[in-house]
């Protein structure tokens, strides 16, 4: 924000304020200002002629208080969150504030260590809530009640002039892109990134619909789409999408130049015949054959500006960064919650799954590899690891897609399966035993069906009891746990760790 270079030095003390002179200054400048920025800067000049300190006019643009006029300092705040600082409090409540000692106000945002007072008043239109503030921070100066009166009068005149000019100005293209970039960066997963990218593309391009295409050649498809033409884009002709994606990846962004009825649109007939009249496409990921393509379309005929295309390119670049971030975070979370050798979930994920076990519907299978220690002692841990990986593959191939297998110890595993009856759970366990035999190993399996009113931990304990009963009877088998009490102490599982 440009500062008024003629502003009064901020450390000069004034005994009083000539309110009449201020009113005259506002009437001859603010009330005839041709634009909102001009009106704000005129208000600042009128105040700075009589008040020492840092003066600023901030207006709300999409949840950020943007500086439209300032004087009295080399540096001012801009883009302040509408709930931050004294200015945020005044804007939010619509009530002016006089802070006689900023050091005692927890909301004060320090800019200069010498500042002692802050006075802030809301700017309110004729028919609505506050849409901005006038603020002054001072080392010394007139009594705060006089400062407050000056700011109140200035805010009133300024609010009336802004309303007369049609209200707050629209966001600039750069401000819109910045807002969307912040929202993109806060997306927690890939679907959220894609949807926020599409919403941003619609807003920045001013077109009704947007989509992201991925894949190469005949495999080109729309991964996500948004807007009234989303359905059309999802089922769009593959050759047309492939042509658009290939050109965009290879040669850079493309956009339409007008009505396809009077221009050469060969190759895209399926899109134009479906009603698309304006189209912009920018690459996501640079000139890579496997990169995505961001597409914005509309049924209206328009000729996009090159500046708009450039903003979409910046949006695509930010989208790629955010996609890479959420994918990396997902990989790290999976790695943190999985056994690195077998890829199975470990104790944390098993505990979470166990907590969701349904009485009379969920069975827990405790699995132990028979005489595994002897393998490690005889052939070494490398051979033991190879054996475990091979065994896990065999067990997973036996389980259904909806069943879950976990590694909860060195040679200890657990499966959680949904069944209709305990005999079905017993059958699953016996299939696991057979699968282990096919790869040259034996396992012992204990089976427990969760009973009504039983804790998940007690179900696991009964399965563990059944497993040890198999061990005592010679290993290489499966046994259904007895209902009711257990004979062994409870196995204490570690607490579940929830990723942020």
CATH of the domain at 46: 3.30.450.40
For residues 305 and 404, membership in a common domain is answered with: no
Looking at residue 286, what is its pLDDT? 66
For residues 200 and 78, membership in a common domain is answered with: no
Looking at residue 287, what is its pLDDT? 62
For residues 382 and 463, membership in a common domain is answered with: yes
For residues 439 and 404, membership in a common domain is answered with: yes
Residue 496 covered by a domain: no
Residue 242 covered by a domain: yes
For residues 122 and 33, membership in a common domain is answered with: yes
For residues 192 and 305, membership in a common domain is answered with: yes
For residues 300 and 417, membership in a common domain is answered with: no
How high is the mean pLDDT in each 10-residue block of the chain (500 residues)? 40 61 90 94 92 91 89 84 90 90 87 85 86 90 86 93 89 85 90 94 93 84 91 84 86 86 78 87 76 90 90 92 90 79 84 84 93 89 92 93 89 92 92 94 94 86 93 93 62 38
For residues 178 and 160, membership in a common domain is answered with: no
For residues 322 and 352, membership in a common domain is answered with: no
Residue 225 covered by a domain: yes
**Secondary structure of the chain as H, E, C letters:** CCEECCCCCCCCCCCCCCHHHHHHHHHHHHHHCCCHHHHHHHHHHHHHCCCCCEEEEEEEECCEEEEEEEECCCCCCCCEECCCHHHHHHHHHCCCEEECCHHHCCCCCCCCCCCCEEEEEEEECCCCCEEEEEEEEECCCCCHHHHHHHHHHHHHHHHHHHHHCCCCCCCCHHHHHHHHHHHHHCCCCHHHHHHHHHHHHHHHHCCCEEEEEECCHHHCEEEEEECCCHHHHHCCCHHHHHHHHHHHHHHCCEECCCCCCCCCCCCCHHHHHCCCCEEEEEEECCCCCCCEEEEEEECCCCCCCHHHHHHHHHHHHHHHHHHHHHHHHHHHHHHHCECCCCCCECHHHHHHHHHCCCCCCEEEEEEEECCHHHHHHHHCHHHHHHHHHHHHHHHHHHCCCCCEEEECCCCEEEEEEECCCHHHHHHHHHHHHHHHHHCCCCEEEEEEECCCCCCHHHHHHHHHHHHHHHHHCCCCEEEECCCCCCCCCCCCCCCCCCCC
For residues 79 and 12, membership in a common domain is answered with: yes
For residues 329 and 235, membership in a common domain is answered with: yes
Looking at residue 369, what is its pLDDT? 94
């Amino acid at each position: 924000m440009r500062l008024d270079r003629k502003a009064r030095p901020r450390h000069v003390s004034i005994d009083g304020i000539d309110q009449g002179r201020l009113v005259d200054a506002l009437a001859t400048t603010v009330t005839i200002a041709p634009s909102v920025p001009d009106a704000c800067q005129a208000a600042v000049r009128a105040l700075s002629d009589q008040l020492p300190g840092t003066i600023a006019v901030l207006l709300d643009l999409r949840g950020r208080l943007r500086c439209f006029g300032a004087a009295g300092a080399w540096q001012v705040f801009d883009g302040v969150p509408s709930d931050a600082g004294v200015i945020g409090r005044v804007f939010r409540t619509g009530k002016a504030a006089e802070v006689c000692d900023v050091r005692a106000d927890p909301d004060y945002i320090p800019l200069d260590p010498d500042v002692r007072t802050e006075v802030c008043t809301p700017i309110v239109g004729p028919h609505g809530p506050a849409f901005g503030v006038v603020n002054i921070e001072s080392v010394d100066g007139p009594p705060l009640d006089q400062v407050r009166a000056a700011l109140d009068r200035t805010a009133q005149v300024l609010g009336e002039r802004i309303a007369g000019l049609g209200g707050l100005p629209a966001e600039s293209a750069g401000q819109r892109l910045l807002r969307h970039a912040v929202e993109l960066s806060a997306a927690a997963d890939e679907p959220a990134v894609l949807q926020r990218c599409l919403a941003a593309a619609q807003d920045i391009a001013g077109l009704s619909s947007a989509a992201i295409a991925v894949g190469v050649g005949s495999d080109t498809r729309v991964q996500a789409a948004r807007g009234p033409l989303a359905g059309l884009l999802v089922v769009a002709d593959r050759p047309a999408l492939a042509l658009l994606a290939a050109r965009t990846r290879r040669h850079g962004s493309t956009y339409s130049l007008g009505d396809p009825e009077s221009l050469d649109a060969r190759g895209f007939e399926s899109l134009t015949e479906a009603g698309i009249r304006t189209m912009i496409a920018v690459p996501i990921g640079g000139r890579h054959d496997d990169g995505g393509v961001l597409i914005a379309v509309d049924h209206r005929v328009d000729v996009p500006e090159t500046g708009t295309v450039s903003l979409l390119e910046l949006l695509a670049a930010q989208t790629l960064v955010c996609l890479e971030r959420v994918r990396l975070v997902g990989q790290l979370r999976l790695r943190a919650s999985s056994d690195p050798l077998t890829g199975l979930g470990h104790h944390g994920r098993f505990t979470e799954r166990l907590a969701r076990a349904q009485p009379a519907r969920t069975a827990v299978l405790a699995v132990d590899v028979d005489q595994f220690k002897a393998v490690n002692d005889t052939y070494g841990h490398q051979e033991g690891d190879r054996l475990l990986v091979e065994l896990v593959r065999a067990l997973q191939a036996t389980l259904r897609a909806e069943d879950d297998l976990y590694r909860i110890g060195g040679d200890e595993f657990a499966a959680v399966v949904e069944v209709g009856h305990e005999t079905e759970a017993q059958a699953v366990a016996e299939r696991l035993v057979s699968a282990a035999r096919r790869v040259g190993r034996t396992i012992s399996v204990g089976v427990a069906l969760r009973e009504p009113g039983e804790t998940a931990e007690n179900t696991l304990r009964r399965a563990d009891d059944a497993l040890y009963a198999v061990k005592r009877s010679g290993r290489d088998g499966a046994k259904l746990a007895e209902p009711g009490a257990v004979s062994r102490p409870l196995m204490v599982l570690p607490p579940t760790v929830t990723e942020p």
